[in-house]
Amino acid sequence: MTSPDLTDSNIGKLADLFPTVVTESVDADGNFKMAVDFDLLRQELSDHVVDGPQERYQLDWPGKRAATFAANAPIAKTLRPVREESVDFETTKNLFIEGDNLDALKLLQESYLGKVKLIYIDPPYNTGSDFVYSDTFSQTSAEYLRNSGQADDNGVRLIANTEANGRFHSDWLSMIYPRLKLSRNLLTDDGVIFISIDDNEIGQLRRICDEIFGEANFLAQVVWQKRTSPEARKRIGAGHEYVVMYARDRANVEAALAPLPLDEKDRAAFNNPDDDPRGRWVSSDFTAPGYRPNQMYEIVTPSGLTVGPPPGRCWMNIESEYKSQVSEGRFWFGPDGKGIPRRKTYLAERDGKSAWTWWPNSEVGHTQEGTREVRALFDKNGPTYFDYPKPVRLLRRIIQLATHPDADEVILDFFAGSGSMAHAVLAQNAADEGSRRFIMVQIDEVPASQSDAAKAGYGSIAEISRDRIRRAGASVLKGAALTSVGLDTGFRSFKIDSTNMADVLRAPDDTDQLALDQLEGSVKPDRSGEDLLFQVLLDWGLELTMPISVEQIDGNEVFVVEDGALIACFDELVSPVVVHSIAKRQPLRAVFRDSGFTSDAARINAEQVFREVSPATDVKAI
C-alpha cells in the first residue's frame, strides 16, 4: 500500500543495461538485497580505467578493470571485403572475418545487436603460456606480481610464496572477459551461448559467465567424452572436456532449446504388443516420490487386482486425470493385465528427446574423429594442420539443440579455429533443409615456420580455416545431391583493417592558403568504393550479407543494397544526373563521398533535390 520503490526499479533497469554492476548487499536487518556497484558503474560509463575497488563477493583479478575498459573502448577500424577469398559473394548469407575477435565483436555490435541465436566458442585453453591475442592489458610476470600486491613498484617481492602461475589465470580471464561481455549484446532474447573448456579454467569460466550472463541464466555444464581410451603415459588421463551453456534470458529457455531428433536406436525402443490404434509406444513409471494425499488412491487392474503405489511413492496424477487417460487406453498393465500401471508414450506424439549432461563419444564423436574429418577434406594420408579439432557431430548436436532449421537463425563462432562449426552448420542445413547462417571469426595467426601448414604454403590459420570451409561446402553439396537445391555453402570474406577515413584533422596554424590544394582527401587512397560501402553498412547497423548490385549511371559507379534499403555513390565526381536518378528511386538511405561534389553549393543542391523528390530518404556524405 505504498508508492513504488523507485530505487529498486532503477536498479532493475541498470541490471538490464549493465548486468555486471548489480551485486548483493546486506540491509540494516541483515537481509540480502540487490545493490549497485558504483565503481563498476563508473567504469561502464568512463572512457578511462577507474580506480577504487571495494570489498565484495565477486571474481576479481589484476587487470579486470582494464579488461572492462577494453570491452567498452571504441576502435577506429572497419571490415574490408575480400572477394577473391569468398565463395558465392553475391548470394551467400554467411560471413568469415579475419582478425582479432575483440575488434570483430565491436564492429558487429550495431549490425547484429540482438540477432544471434547461438554463439559457440572453443577458446584457447589455459595451458600456462602466452596467447596470440595481443591485448594491451595482458601482463608480464613482473607486472602481475606488482598489480596483485606481491611485489612493490621496484619489483621487490613482498610475499615469499608467490603465485607466479596466477599471471596466466589473470591473462586468460582478461582475454576472455571483454569478448564474452560484448558477445552477450549480440544474442537474441532466446539466444544461448555454448563454451568448450577443460579443467584448467572451468571454475573461473563459470564464475565469469555468472557475472556476465547472470547466475540465473545458467543452463547446464555438459561433460563430453573426447577420447576413446585412456592416455597410456599418464596414471590418470583426461578423457573429457566440458561444454558450458548459458541463456540470454532463461525465461525463454523453452524457445531457446529444441528437443533432439530421435535416431534409429530410439525408435527401436517403441513397439505395439497390444495393437494400440495409436501405434508404437513405450511405457514409463506412473509413480512419483513422496506423499501427496490426492495422489494416493487404489487402482483396479484389468485382471481385477487392486494395487496401490509402492511405499514412499504416490501416483503421478490425481485420480480424475488417471481415469481420463486410462479410458483412452493410454496405460499398460502387462501382458496378463496384473501389473502396476505404466503410462504409454506414443512414437507419433514424440517430437524428439531431451538432452542430458553426459555426451559420450559414441553419440557426438571424439577428437580423433575431428582429426579424420579435416584430413579427409585435404589429404587423407597427409597432415591435419590442426591439433584436436572438434568433431562435426558434437557441433551438430549443439546446433540441433539451440536452433531451428527454418528460421534463418545466425550462429556465431569467434574462435573459429579449424572451421568445424561452419562445417557443422553446412552439414546440418543439408540434413534438415535448414537455412541457418554462420559468422566465423579467426585471428590472422601465422603458423609456426616448421609446421605442416607453413610447409603447405598457408600464411595464416584463417587461410586454412577458409580453405577447410570451401572444401566442406563442396563435400556437403556432393553428398546432398538432389536435396542441395538452395543450400548456401558460400561465405563473404572480410579482413579487419584500419578505418577507411584518413586523419585530416589539422590545427589552423598548420595550414595556409597555399597549402589548401595539397591537403589530402578524407578517404584513404587505397580504399575502394566497396570498402566504403561496407563501412557505411556497419555505421548504419545494416547486415553485411544484404544483396548488393552495382550499376553504371552517367559514368558513375552506384551501389544498390537490398533493392533500395541503401544506394551509394563514392566516385570522385558525382554528376547531378546521378543525384536525380538516385532520388527518384526514393531509397531509405543515400550516401555520397563529400569530395565527390565540386563545391559546397553542389552538395547543398543535392540535398535540396532529395528534399523535393524523396524527402523520407536519409542522406549522408562521408
Residue 534: other Cβ atoms inside 10 A: 22
pLDDT at 154: 57
Burial class (CB in 10 A: 0-12, 13-18, 19+), 518: exposed
d(CA 620, CA 18): 32
pLDDT at 61: 84
> Which of 28-42, 288-302, 333-347 shows the lowest per-residue confidence on average (mean pLDDT)?
28-42
Which residues are CB-neighbours of 445 under 8 A, at least 6 positions away? 132, 460, 461, 462
pLDDT at 147: 52
d(CA 40, CA 497): 31
Torsion sign (Cα): 394, 399, 405, 408? negative
Residue 411 has pLDDT above 90, yes or no: yes
Straight-line distance from the first to the last Cα atom of the chain, in angstroms, rounded to the nearest whole number: 57
- DSSP track, 467-491: HHHHHHHHHHHHHHGGGGTT----B
d(CA 571, CA 592): 8
Residue 98: other Cβ atoms inside 10 A: 27
Secondary structure of residue 595 in the 3-state scheme: helix
Residue 615 has pLDDT above 90, yes or no: yes
pTM of the full predicted structure?
0.83
The pLDDT tens digits of the residues spanning 72-101 come to 888 999 999 999 999 999 999 999 999 999
C-alpha cell at 335: 501382458
Query: Which stretch of DSSP H or E encloses residue 118?
Result: strand 116-121
d(CA 606, CA 602): 6
Nearest alpha-carbon partner for 421 in 429, 431, 411, 410 = 411
Report H helices in 33-95. Answer: 38-44, 64-72
The pLDDT tens digits of the residues spanning 517-539 come to 545 568 899 999 999 999 999 99
Residue 320 has pLDDT above 90, yes or no: yes
Angle between helices 367-378 and 420-432 (to 10 degrees): 80
Residue 55 has pLDDT above 90, yes or no: no
Residue 118 has pLDDT above 60, yes or no: yes
Q: What angle do CA 95, 100, 103 make, to 5 degrees?
A: 80
Burial class (CB in 10 A: 0-12, 13-18, 19+), 91: exposed
Average pLDDT, the chain: 87
Residue 156 has pLDDT above 80, yes or no: no
- Greatest mean pLDDT among 30-39, 153-162, 600-609: 600-609
pLDDT at 135: 59
- Greatest extent of the chain over all pairs of C-alpha atoms, in Å: 111
The pLDDT tens digits of the residues spanning 247-272 come to 999 999 887 888 898 988 889 999 99
Order of strands across the sheet that contains 331-332: 281-285, 342-346, 331-332
pLDDT at 230: 79
Which of the four pLDDT bands, split at 50, 70 and 90, describes residue 336? very high
Burial class (CB in 10 A: 0-12, 13-18, 19+), 525: exposed
Residue 246: other Cβ atoms inside 10 A: 26
pLDDT at 450: 87
Q: What angle do CA 392, 398, 404 make, to 5 degrees?
A: 110
Residue 50: other Cβ atoms inside 10 A: 18
Burial class (CB in 10 A: 0-12, 13-18, 19+), 291: exposed
pLDDT at 51: 67
pLDDT at 431: 92
pLDDT at 2: 43
Residue 376 has pLDDT above 90, yes or no: yes
d(CA 22, CA 45): 14
Residue 429 has pLDDT above 80, yes or no: yes
Residue 180: other Cβ atoms inside 10 A: 22
d(CA 420, CA 469): 8
d(CA 364, CA 342): 32
User: What are the domain boundaries of the chain?
Assistant: 1-58, 73-135+185-262+350-498, 281-344, 511-621
- Greatest mean pLDDT among 136-145, 159-168, 344-353, 509-518: 344-353
Residue 252: other Cβ atoms inside 10 A: 16
The pLDDT tens digits of the residues spanning 172-208 come to 899 999 999 999 999 999 999 999 999 988 999 999 9
d(CA 244, CA 259): 18
Which residues are CB-neighbours of 170 under 8 A, at least 6 positions away? 61, 62, 63, 139, 144, 148
The pLDDT tens digits of the residues spanning 472-490 come to 999 999 887 656 678 999 9
Burial class (CB in 10 A: 0-12, 13-18, 19+), 143: middle
pLDDT at 143: 56
Torsion sign (Cα): 9, 11, 15, 17? positive
d(CA 613, CA 603): 15
C-alpha cell at 590: 543515400
Which residues sit opposite 25 in a β-bridge?
A: 33
The pLDDT tens digits of the residues spanning 4-34 come to 566 777 888 888 888 888 877 766 776 767 7
Q: What whole-number percentage of the chain has pLDDT above 90?
A: 64
Which of the four pLDDT bands, split at 50, 70 and 90, describes residue 164? very low
Which of the four pLDDT bands, split at 50, 70 and 90, describes residue 56? low
Which residues are CB-neighbours of 578 under 8 A, at least 6 positions away? 553, 554, 556, 558, 569
d(CA 411, CA 488): 14
| Higher pLDDT among residues 40 and 52, named by residue | 40
Which of the four pLDDT bands, split at 50, 70 and 90, describes residue 169? confident
Fold entry, domain 73-135+185-262+350-498: Rossmann fold (3.40.50)
Burial class (CB in 10 A: 0-12, 13-18, 19+), 485: exposed
pLDDT at 134: 57
